[in-house]
Chains A and B, each alone.
Chain A
């Protein structure tokens, strides 16, 4: 009966309640679409970057990230590999041996990032084969190298040419070799396109005189939200460092943080709109029922019961709007999720600077919708403080004669 009373009370003035609910409705729709776009884009950016190269996390030697020396490479045992690959939520673990070397063809020489990797695992993780524009993909039993398109042009390379690599290997040993060019790849970002050379892991280990050693194990997991759980498990391997994507991609992480902060400020503004919409309505509903409250207390209604009724009224007014807002936003968000926005023109440069494709994705994570309900419930409860204080101070005899 208390629910009935509260529910009917909010409809005493239909227009007023509908206006308050409408303010909540529009604010919730805006908040959901905004957060869906932000969270969807962040997830996409992170996933793209992780899939492009770093993985969501990496197993490395202690201190390798700060000092990229071959001397900080690691040599995990088969048990270690098994432990890592069987860790919760791990989808793939790609071993790499990375270093820098001078690469030459004819009279042209450039500095290149040389990456030794398992061809199959690398392709499974980064779809490297799809980036092949000419020649053949890496083979695990061949010394052929893949050269990024930009570097190919600078060195004027053709498939089948010999590429001279010269650098420093494990424990300062000289690394020098000539490998045939197996093919060319096109990386989506200029910086990578001008610097990468891939060869199979065994070849790289021979080149750098680092048999069975790797500098990193790039790991993909099934869902970004499982990152902490996976890291917690992998940290049991105390001899290695576990690097998160946030540490490996600090520029992206910071730009996401900054963008997220501006999004949260916008959300706060929307929540303030909701607060005033609900609070204004509740204040009027309470003020105009001063005498009625006096009557109810006079006839024997305890104040706390009245407080519950007015609190329920706040919650109902807010929830009429929030439920309508959530229902209204679902088709919009799902449409945008299946039809993401592709940026063109100058906007693409901003995305490329962060190493991701210029696509604006929308998330359908239920948390986005659920969190709106929770926040609006908190706002409704906060708005209910006013009637609670109003009733607490109310003297029935004064209210009766108001």
Chain B
């Protein structure tokens, strides 16, 4: 069974005078341990695709099953819990909680899951160690560089032991060196922890490193190739 099964996914926005077909009959599967980039020009539907994959937006038709669960049949609160326990998120602008330290940001996800304080601290430190930031565990986001913040965001995304990580333009705000380091980290996690990563990006540095590239155009899958 595929990790993610997407069937005949449509998303139409009716908010403006003209209906916008953001996704048009998208059908594809994502297997475990993939390192996949969703690419395409602006307006191609990458973000919509990622939002729907993350259960943040609902499709107009079609369905998504994650490990057999049709996530859009879940109630709103169940869907939030589903996201907490099964999906990791990495955002373009890092979006860490500014008043928390790096360790607290990672711990916070585990707090939501009800993990004990002692266990949270232990796991948070292990995750920060795995992203190379154990020595910055007590730093707040504004004391970290963009690359470091994004690595904390990656650690946070892994804190809940998700089935896969969705990363929305993760390198867009990073310089080349930081972007390279981040991709190295993600590749390592993908290989050593069997973590599935799905990126939306138009960053060539990411596209080159992705093992599968799904190209969207006008909301439809234009190509789906192994790299």
In the complex, are the beta carbons of B100 and A8 less than 8 A apart? yes
In the complex, are the beta carbons of B95 and A8 less than 8 A apart? no
- Residues of chain A within 8 A (CB-CB) of B85 are 300
The interface bits of chain A over 291-303 (1 if a CB of B lies within 8 angstroms of the residue's CB, else 0) are: 1100111111111
In the complex, are the beta carbons of B107 and A297 less than 8 A apart? no
Taking a contact as CB atoms closer than 8 A, the residue among A12, A303, A401 that contacts B99 in the complex is A12
In the complex, are the beta carbons of A301 and B100 less than 8 A apart? no
Q: Name the residue on A nearest B117 (C-beta).
A: A1
In the complex, are the beta carbons of A302 and B97 less than 8 A apart? no
B112, CB-defined interface residue at 8 Å? yes
Closest beta carbon of chain A to B143's beta carbon, Å: 14
A61, CB-defined interface residue at 8 Å? no
Taking a contact as CB atoms closer than 8 A, the residue among A295, A297, A400 that contacts B80 in the complex is A297
For the complex, give the distance between the alpha carbons of A400 and B51 in Å.
Answer: 10
B148, CB-defined interface residue at 8 Å? no
In the complex, are the beta carbons of B56 and A299 less than 8 A apart? no
Given contacts A1-B108, A397-B56, contact A292 B81 (CB under 8 A): no
Taking a contact as CB atoms closer than 8 A, the residue among B99, B107, B156 that contacts A299 in the complex is B156
- Residues of chain A within 8 A (CB-CB) of B84 are 299-301
**Chain B residue total in the interface (Cβ 8 A):** 28
A150, CB-defined interface residue at 8 Å? no
A327, CB-defined interface residue at 8 Å? no
Closest beta carbon of chain B to A111's beta carbon, Å: 80
In the complex, are the beta carbons of A299 and B57 less than 8 A apart? no
For the complex, give the distance between the alpha carbons of A21 and B77 in Å.
Answer: 35
For the complex, give the distance between the alpha carbons of A301 and B82 in Å.
Answer: 11
Interface majority SS (helix, strand, loop, mixed), chain B = helix
For the complex, give the distance between the alpha carbons of A94 and B157 in Å.
Answer: 81
A396, CB-defined interface residue at 8 Å? yes
Interface majority SS (helix, strand, loop, mixed), chain A = helix
B190, CB-defined interface residue at 8 Å? no
Given contacts A1-B104, A12-B98, contact A298 B54 (CB under 8 A): yes
- Residues of chain B within 8 A (CB-CB) of A303 are 80
Given contacts A397-B51, A400-B91, contact A301 B80 (CB under 8 A): yes
- Residues of chain B within 8 A (CB-CB) of A8 are 99-100
Taking a contact as CB atoms closer than 8 A, the residue among A5, A291, A300, A397 that contacts B95 in the complex is A291
Closest beta carbon of chain A to B174's beta carbon, Å: 18
A9, CB-defined interface residue at 8 Å? yes
Given contacts A298-B89, A299-B109, A300-B85, contact A292 B95 (CB under 8 A): yes
- Residues of chain B within 8 A (CB-CB) of A295 are 89, 91, 95
In the complex, are the beta carbons of A299 and B100 less than 8 A apart? no
In the complex, are the beta carbons of A298 and B83 less than 8 A apart? yes
B123, CB-defined interface residue at 8 Å? no
In the complex, are the beta carbons of B81 and A300 less than 8 A apart? yes
What are 29 residue pairs bridging A and B, where the CB atoms are less than 8 Å apart in the complex?
A1-B107, A5-B97, A5-B99, A8-B100, A9-B99, A12-B98, A291-B95, A292-B97, A295-B95, A297-B80, A298-B56, A298-B83, A298-B89, A299-B84, A299-B89, A299-B156, A300-B81, A300-B85, A300-B109, A300-B112, A301-B84, A301-B112, A302-B77, A302-B80, A302-B112, A305-B112, A396-B56, A397-B57, A400-B51
Beyond A397-B57, A400-B56, 9 additional pairs, beta carbon < 8 A: A1-B107, A1-B111, A4-B104, A295-B89, A296-B97, A298-B54, A298-B56, A299-B83, A302-B81
Q: State the 6 A-B residue pairs at the shortest beta-carbon distance, nearest first.
A: A300-B84, A8-B99, A295-B95, A397-B56, A397-B57, A300-B83
